[in-house]
C-alpha cells in the first residue's frame, strides 16, 4: 500500500492546480503526416516537429495522459502507390512503415524537450521500437510517458484515422483529438470554398450522412460505438491543444 502510494506520487508529473484545469484524463491525438511537413512538399520539417512536440508537452504538463497516432501521408500512401503500379497491399505496408518513420521523428522531438516517449508498433520491429501490447501501452501512460502508436492498425486497407479510433477505444481514452489545418469541421474545405460553414457541434451520424470529410467512415463508426467524442481543432493555433483540453479555444465536437 505504502509502495503504491509512493509510486502514484512519483507518477503524477504535474502540480494539482494545473491538473484540475483539464477536462480529460487520457486522450489520443491524431496527427496526419502532412501536419509535420510545415511548408515542405514532402517529408518532415524539424521546426514543425518541435512545435507540435511543445504542444504535446504542454498538455502532459496539465496531468493529461497523452497517446498519439501519426499518419504517413507526408511520405507514402498506399493509394498513390497503387496508382503508380505497386499493388495495394504492398503500398499500404509501405505507408505503415512511413508512419514508423514519423513516430520515431516525433519521439526524438519530444525527448529533446524532456518528454519521455515510447513508440509501439503494430508491426513488430524489435530493433527499432516496442511491439504494440495494449496493457504495456496503458502502463506507459500511467507512468506519464507519451505513447506513439506506429504502423497504423498493422493491416492494409485501413487508414491511420481508423487506427486512431481503434487505439482510443482500446486505451479507454476520454476523447480523440483530430488535429487539422483548420479550426473545426466545415461543410466544405474552407481553404477552397469561401461559402463553407463551420460547425460547433455535430453528431457522428451528421458526419456520416452529410459525408463531411473529417475522418474516414470506419473511424467515425468506431468512435460512435465506443462513445468517444472527437474534438477537431487546428494544430496551427499556438497553444491550441492545451486550450481544447480545457474546453477553450475553437474546435468542433462530434458526439451523441
The site for ligand UDP (CB under 6 A) is made up of 32-34, 71-73, 77-79, 91-92, 95-96, 98-99, 152-153, 155-156, 158-161, 163
Q: Which is nearer to ligand UDP, 139 or 157 (CB)?
A: 157
Neighbours of 21 (CB within 10 A): 14
DSSP 3-state of 28 = strand
Q: Which is nearer to ligand UDP, 99 or 234 (CB)?
A: 99
Taking the complex as a whole, how short is the minimal distance between the CB of residue 89 and ligand UDP, in angstroms?
Answer: 8
In 50-106, where do the E strands start and end?
65-70
Q: Give me the least distance between CB of 194 and ligand UDP, in Å please.
A: 25
How far, in Å, CA of 177 to CA of 24, rounded?
11
| Residue (92 or 183) nearer to ligand UDP, CB | 92
Q: What is the spatial order of strands in the sheet that 130-131 belongs to?
A: 130-131, 117-121, 146-150, 65-70, 26-31, 175-180, 230-234, 252-254, 201-202
Q: What is the DSSP string of 158-192?
A: --HHHHHHHHHHHTT-SEEEEEESSSSEESS-TTT
Residue whose CB is less far from ligand UDP, 157 or 201: 157
* Closest distance to ligand UDP from the beta carbon of 77 (Å): 4
Give yes or no for a contact between 69 and 163, defined as CB atoms under 8 angstroms apart.
yes
Give how far the C-alpha of residue 198 lies from the chain's centroid of Cα atoms, to the nearest Å. 22
Q: How far is the CB of 85 from ligand UDP (least distance, A)?
A: 15
Q: How far is the CB of 90 from ligand UDP (least distance, A)?
A: 10
Instruction: State which residue, 65 or 153, has the beta carbon closest to ligand UDP.
Output: 153
Amino acid at each position: 500500500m505504502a509502495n503504491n502510494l509512493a509510486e502514484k506520487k512519483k507518477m503524477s508529473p504535474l502540480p494539482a492546480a494545473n491538473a484540475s484545469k483539464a477536462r480529460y484524463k487520457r486522450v489520443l491525438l491524431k496527427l496526419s503526416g502532412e501536419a509535420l511537413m510545415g511548408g515542405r512538399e514532402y517529408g518532415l520539417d524539424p521546426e514543425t516537429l518541435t512545435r507540435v512536440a511543445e504542444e504535446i508537452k504542454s498538455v502532459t504538463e496539465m496531468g493529461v495522459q497523452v497517446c498519439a497516432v501519426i499518419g504517413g501521408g507526408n511520405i507514402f500512401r498506399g493509394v498513390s502507390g497503387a496508382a503508380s503500379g505497386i499493388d495495394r497491399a504492398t503500398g499500404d505496408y509501405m505507408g505503415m512503415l512511413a508512419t514508423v518513420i514519423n513516430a520515431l521523428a516525433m519521439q526524438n522531438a519530444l525527448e529533446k524537450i524532456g518528454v519521455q516517449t515510447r513508440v509501439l508498433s503494430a508491426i513488430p520491429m524489435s530493433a527499432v521500437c516496442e511491439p504494440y501490447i495494449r496493457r504495456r501501452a496503458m502502463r506507459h501512460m500511467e507512468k506519464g510517458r507519451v505513447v506513439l502508436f506506429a504502423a497504423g492498425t498493422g493491416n492494409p486497407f485501413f487508414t491511420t484515422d481508423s487506427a486512431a479510433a481503434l487505439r482510443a477505444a482500446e486505451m479507454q481514452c476520454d476523447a480523440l483529438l483530430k488535429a487539422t489545418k483548420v479550426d473545426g469541421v466545415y461543410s466544405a474545405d474552407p481553404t477552397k470554398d469561401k461559402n463553407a460553414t463551420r460547425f460547433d457541434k455535430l453528431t457522428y451520424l451528421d458526419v456520416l450522412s452529410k459525408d463531411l470529410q473529417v475522418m474516414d467512415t470506419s473511424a467515425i463508426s468506431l468512435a460512435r460505438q465506443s462513445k468517444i467524442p472527437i474534438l477537431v481543432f487546428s494544430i496551427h493555433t499556438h497553444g491550441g491543444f492545451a486550450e481544447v483540453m480545457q474546453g477553450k479555444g475553437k474546435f468542433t465536437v462530434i458526439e451523441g
